[in-house]
Amino acid sequence: MVRGRGSSHDVRVVTVVEKGLHAVTAAAPVVPSYASGTSDVPLLGDTIGDNFDRTAAAHPDVDALVEVQTGRRWTYAQLREEIDTVALGLQAAGLRKGDRAGIWAPNLAEWTLVQYATAKLGVVLVNINPAYRTHELEYVLKQAGIAVLVAAESFKTSDYRAMVGEVRPNCPELRQVIFIGTSDWDTVVADGRAGDRAELARIQAGLSPDDPINIQYTSGTTGFPKGATLSHHNILNNGYFVGRLCGYTSGDRVCIPVPFYHCFGMVMGNLGCTTNGATMVIPGPGFEPKATLRAVAQERCTSLYGVPTMFIAEVSDPDFESFDLSSLRTGIMAGSPCPVEIMKQVVDRMGMTEVTICYGMTETSPVSTQTRGDDSLDRRVSTVGRVHPHVEVKIVDPETGLTLPRGEAGELCTRGYSVMLGYWNEPEKTAESIDRARWMHTGDVGIMDDEGYVNITGRIKDMVIRGGENIYPREIEEFLYTHPDVLDAQVVGVPDAKYGEELCAWVTLREGAAELTPDALREYATGKLAHYKIPRYVVVVEEFPMTVTGKVRKVEMRERSREMLGL
């Protein structure tokens, strides 16, 4: 475990020796790893629905939403009309303020309509992972007490209709299921068109920005996921400031291939656009590199979102050079540590010269730190930026909770408007993550430099202890990206009788590359990495086990490594 040198009031003793004088000591104050995001731009104080209406009034003729696959598109004026229709249709289905409505679908225009319609009603939208199976679906339906479920009929290999039918008898609170693209949805729209717009305005006027409006289930690595409960104030402001730091205006068009069910899609994507008057572009229901590149070219997108694996797939697409990406200027790479080499390719080959890195987690709405457009390329490829406006961050010793000096590794904590209300109906688990001073403990290992830039070096639980040496996999992974044959790399710890743990590198290779053996990797790393940081084992795979949001499942990789290596 990382050990620090005490609180922010500690001092280091500096010895000064002058000719002909006895040694004297001078106290040099230690700068703590703490930063607060000052801003002359105030937080938004309204609800999601009211904010959207304000944007629609200011930019009625600007494209608000484009669904590339179907060719459907709405201006802000048209989208407001459609959202109000869906809101009144859901009200006719019996939904009231504080009720929970589930959404179980890939990236469709209807997803966005339901997101804003429920916000206007004060109904808590529960995002359900499109990859869930019946066991997980039933848990979320019951744990959140979902009254109405809006779902696609199917996606990829998942038959949602059949799965809902299987679990519905066990979910007594589930009153109604509305399948998108069927007569169910048509009924919602018809009822909404006949609804009273003045009644919707009265409902909106009775909502508070501090009301819970969204539950997102974190993809826990053990046990059942927890429902992070977020308010209008949480996610509206986070989307707004993410968009501001990307420089969004009504002239921007943002390609959003990341899933809406996650904060990256619905907050940084949708809310990031609507709070700043920009255009939401949906390239397809699920991520496909070619469809994403085609959407950027066709819609002249100025911004593109993705996790590192998405950008890797895009720049590796055999038809990459045939797409005109000259409209791109910015975007966001986030969701997991961003490899330096991939980031450089995104800037050089995709033209995203103002691309930013964001760091955050579902429980913090999600973004806590972000690089800025005027940061140097080195800053933008080697850190996750500085603290967000109106947010505080600090690096603490995980054992003592004391703030560490800058430059030392410890647990990153964050506090401010963005911290969730709590885990839905789980006060004990909430207390485990949010301390009495409302600091959210992220579980991530970070280092803050003298200028306040933060680097994330891994998860506390991912740290490998080899023969007493603390090793953070991120450092080894960044090194492996410099190997000419390596396309992507992940490093995990595996059991070892002598050292306690050893390093195992999982790699995917570039097309045409020769097999990478442990000996060959050892030869490449010798003299560049300390001996104890050189992986003992190498596993070459076609792809890594991933969550639907593109995060690598290291828990699963550790288990499979043990099995494959017979450890």
- What distance in Å separates the CA atoms of residue 278 and residue 282, rounded to the nearest whole number? 13
Element (H, E) at 146: strand 146-151
Element (H, E) at 310: helix 308-315
Domain assignment of residue 547, yes or no: yes
**End-of-domain residue from the set 208, 237, 272:** 208
Domain assignment of residue 189, yes or no: yes
Question: In terms of C-beta density within 10 A (0-12 exposed, 13-18 middle, 19 or more buried), how is residue 519 classed?
Answer: exposed
Domain assignment of residue 115, yes or no: yes
Would you say the pTM of this structure is higher than 0.75? yes
Q: Which two tokens stand for residue 377?
A: 């390329």
Domain assignment of residue 175, yes or no: yes
Question: In terms of C-beta density within 10 A (0-12 exposed, 13-18 middle, 19 or more buried), how is residue 36 classed?
Answer: middle
Q: Which two tokens stand for residue 310?
A: 């998405």
pLDDT, tens digit only, all 567 positions of the chain: 333 333 333 333 333 333 343 444 566 789 999 999 999 999 999 999 999 999 999 999 999 999 999 999 999 999 999 999 999 999 999 999 999 999 999 999 999 999 999 999 999 999 998 988 898 899 999 999 999 999 999 999 999 999 999 999 999 999 999 999 999 999 999 999 999 999 999 999 999 999 999 999 986 544 678 999 999 999 999 999 999 999 999 999 999 999 999 999 999 999 999 999 999 999 999 999 999 999 999 999 999 999 888 999 999 999 999 999 999 999 999 877 677 788 889 999 999 999 999 999 999 999 999 999 889 888 887 899 999 999 999 999 988 999 999 999 999 999 999 999 999 999 999 999 999 999 999 999 999 999 999 998 888 888 788 887 778 788 889 889 999 999 999 999 999 888 888 999 999 999 888 888 889 988 998 888 878 889 999 999 999 998 766 778 888 999 999 999 999
| 111: CB partners within 8 A, 6+ apart | 103, 105, 260
CATH number at residue 145: 3.40.50.980
Domain assignment of residue 319, yes or no: no
- Which of 489, 480, 481, 498 minimizes the C-alpha distance to 534? 480
Domain assignment of residue 82, yes or no: yes
**End-of-domain residue from the set 166, 186, 208:** 208
- Which of 221, 208, 150, 212 minimizes the C-alpha distance to 179? 150
- What distance in Å separates the CA atoms of residue 534 and residue 502, rounded to the nearest whole number? 9
- What distance in Å separates the CA atoms of residue 233 and residue 390, rounded to the nearest whole number? 12
Q: Which two tokens stand for residue 156?
A: 């990829």
Number of structural domains (the chain) is 2
Domain assignment of residue 339, yes or no: no
**End-of-domain residue from the set 208, 225, 257:** 208
The DSSP-derived string for 408-477 is: --EEEEEEETTS-SEETT-HHHHHHHB-TT--EEEEEEEEE-TTS-EEEEEEGGG-EEETTEEE-HHHHH
Element (H, E) at 396: strand 391-396
CB–CB of 212/27 below 8 Å?
A: no
Q: What is the 3-state secondary structure (H, E, C) of 1-63?
A: CCCCCCCCCCEEEEEECCCCCCCEEEEEECCECEEECCCCCCCCCCCHHHHHHHHHHHCCCCE
Domain assignment of residue 392, yes or no: no
Domain encompassing residue 163: 49-55+74-208
Tell me the β-bridge partners of 304: 255, 331
Return the half-sphere exposure (C-beta side, CA atoms, 13 A cut-off) of residue 388. 32
CATH number at residue 521: 3.30.300.30
